[in-house]
Structures are given as C-alpha cells and as structure tokens.
Amino acid sequence: MLQLLLISTLPAFTLMLVAPAATHKHCKLVRELGLVALLLVRELLHHSASAACAWGGEGGGSSNKERERERGVRIMPSKAKPEPALAAREEGETEAELNAAALPLLDLPELALERVLEELEPPSLAAMACVCVALRDRCSADTLWGRHVNRKWGRVLGAAARKEWEAELAARRSSGALPRPARRRSLADSLACAWPFSWITCRWLKGNAVAAEPAAATPSPLPSPATDTVAAWYRAVECGEFSFPAQVYNREDGHVGFVLSCYDAHLRYDRRTDTFTARYPPHGRKPAKEESGVQWSRVRSPPVSTPAHDLHASGCLGDLRPGDHFEIQWRKNKDFPYGWWYGVVGHQETCNANEHLCRCHEDDMVVLEFKHYAAGSRWRQTTVSRKDHREKGDETDGFYGGIRKLQTSDEISTWRKFWPVDVLN
C-alpha cells in the first residue's frame, strides 16, 4: 500500500508544481490534470486510512481488551439521567424541530408561501426557482419581480426603458435569435458535477476558478429565466446586458458647461462598482461620448416622452407665476440634442416683487431666471411668450425650447442638490 501511495503521489505533486506556472490558456489542461491527480491521491489516502482503522479494530480488539484488564482500566460510570421535566422539555423541543424540518415548503398555506417568497432577495428568489417546476412557476411570477424592479430600478427605469426592452424582445423573436450559449465547462467544472465525493467542490476548485477568472469575485449572475418575463428584464439590467434610456444630471461629471442640466443618455449598469456607464448621443458632428462611474444620485427616468431632438409641447405657460420652479429645453445649435435646464420664474422689471401687488402672472411675457449665473451674465435671464411660445434663440445664445413646471418638492430638492458652490459667469 505504501509503495502504491508513493507511486501515485509523485506524479500528482509534480503536476501541481507545474500547474501554478501554467498561466497561459493553452496550459489550462495541465493545471486541471494536476488537480485531478491530487484529488485521486487524497481519495486513496482517505480510503486507506479507513481500511487501516477497520483492520486494526478487528485484529487487535481482543488484545486491547486484555491490556486494559491488566492495567486495571476502570470503566467510567454512565452519565446521570436528566430530571423528568428537563427530559420532557428537551424531547418536546427535538420533536418540534423535527416537525418543522419535515414540513415541505409547498405544503404551506397559499398566503404564507407568497409572504415567504416576497421576503426573498432576487438572488435567493432566482435560486429557489431552480428547485422544482412548481417553485419555478411561483418564483418567476411577474408580481414578485415587479416589486424588485420598482424597489431597485424604479427611479431610473421609465416607460421608455420598458418600451425599448419589448422592442428588443420582438427583434429577437423576428430574427429567430437563440439564447446566448453558456460558457463552456472546464474539466474541473465537469468533475464538480459528476464526482461522487463532496470535497470535489472544496476550496481548491474555488481557488482555481478565482485564479482563472478574476471577474468571478463579483456577485454571481442570476440564473436565466424566460426572456419575456419581468424576471428576465431585471436580470438583463442587473447584469449589464441591457442598456436603457434615462437622463443624467450634470453630464460629464459636473463639467462647468453642464451645471444644473440633465441630458438624455443610454445607461448600462456595472454590478462591480454599483455605478452606470452613460453614452450620450452625438452633438452634431461630434461623436458620441461615454462617461463611466455615474452615481445613482445623478440618474433619473425621463419625466416626459419627448425625444431629445424634438420640441416639448409646453402646457404650463398659463400657470407660471414668480417663484415657480421649472425645467426648460436648451441646445447650443439646432444640430445638437436638447438638454433640460433648471430655473425659477422671476418678476418683470416694472414689478416691485410685492406678493400682494404683483401682476406678473397676467403679463404675456414670462421671465425665466437662472440664478446660478452671476447678475449681468447673458445666461442669467431670458423671456418667453406665454401665449405663443416656440423655439427661440440664435447661434450665439443658443435655442430655448419647451418648458416643464416642477410639481413636487422631491424634484426641486433633487435639482438643488447640484447647486454649484460658486456663482457661474
């Protein structure tokens, strides 16, 4: 037996010494063969030790007993029996634990099962869907995943994102596109599924996988559900497989030319950094720009469905009064897409700003102020017609488009978070 162990161990450890140096993709087979050899040696050692213990117990049992008698080994008294009340309580607790363990999940009442599934996080819910057919149908319900979509992505996913996702599914169906093939299994992965010993999935395999694929340190992706479900939409966004339309405050990381603005972009989520990569549409002849590391606080879903190059229909001009907060479309020239800019309605020059005497809301012209610019700046103030407002401006000052009145305090406070420290010129 010892000779067999030595013969098996030598090539195994030789391969394991060679394996760490084999980092090239063509040497992956060498690493895996070394791992298999080491696992075979460990299995052989395990069974050899078990056989030796069994042989020693059978062959030397009588002699051991005689030695114990000769040495006068005294058998220790048995443990005292517990009190009846304590024993009854322990027995009751054990029985309750066994009954709880024996209760199948699917035997729970309908409402209780739904409540349990509602409390599961998305990775746990996706894993539960892989248990059986009944749980797969329950755990893939759109109502369950709709809550997770609203909870995590509700602020950034709007109707435009959902429409684009449905269009992508329709394009896949029309083209007959098949699902993306899974990553090809390595030899160690195959053994992990087929090998009859539990320790095949020990830290050696995990360490080998981490060494071969450093990106595996990120959270494991969710199992792939049916493509036309809300669960599939959640997984596509979570794994960065679907870029969705949204808007970004202060594009290009707060560039001075985009302070207190919000521009359309296509965003892709990065789970490793919990941030987004934004791709802005081209500005005239300028190519599209990308910005990585966009934080959640700078992203919102588009509040209106107006495309970035179209003029928004202003339906709030008759309601604007001094002090109202608004967003207005603006672009540098007509080849550029619009961005939304924050401002406050101001008073007419002839008004003394007395709230009891002010009649600015009755005037045909509306004063729009951008108070983050210094007084006297050409960007500080502009006026638009209340009754007949269309795009106005020129190539010097840019073009002002549609206006949207801010209705909630949340929208206003979000804009105020990006207020610059210094007044702009």
pLDDT tens digits for range 8-66: 555 545 545 544 444 454 556 666 666 667 767 777 777 677 767 666 655 555 555 55
Q: Does some domain include residue 269?
A: no
- Report pTM: 0.65
Query: pLDDT higher for 107 or 143?
Result: 143
In percent, how much of the chain has pLDDT > 90?
A: 41
Residue at 113 is within a domain: no
pLDDT score of 373: 94
Quick one: pLDDT at residue 253?
79
Is residue 85 in some structural domain? Answer: no
Would residue 414 count as lying in a domain? yes
pLDDT value at 210 more than 90: no
2-18 and 28-59 helices, crossing angle to 10°: 160
* Number of structural domains in the chain: 1
> Token pair of 321, please?
């009064």
Rounded to 10 deg, the angle between the 230-238 and 142-153 helix axes is 30
Q: Is residue 140 part of a domain?
A: no
The candidate with the shortest Cα–Cα distance to 420, out of 261, 268, 211, is 261
pLDDT at residue 201 greater than cutoff 60: no
Residue with tokens 């007509």: 334
Comparing C-alpha atoms, which of 320, 342, 338, 358 is closest to residue 398? 338
Q: Which of 189-193, 225-229, 294-298 has the highest mean pLDDT?
A: 294-298
Looking at residue 202, what is its pLDDT?
A: 35
Average of per-residue pLDDT across 135-153: 90
Amino acid at site 406:
L
Least confident of 16-30, 104-118, 127-141: 16-30
Q: Residue 412: give the domain boundaries.
A: 324-418
Contact criterion met (CB below 8 Å) for 261 and 340: yes
Q: What is the mean pLDDT of residues 72-79?
A: 44
Has residue 34 been placed in a domain?
A: no
Q: 166 in a domain, yes or no?
A: no
- Interior CA angle at 196 toward 192 and 200, to 5°? 40
pLDDT, residue 284, reads 76
Is there a domain that residue 424 lies in?
no
Residue 104: per-residue pLDDT = 74
Q: Which amino acid is at 309?
A: H
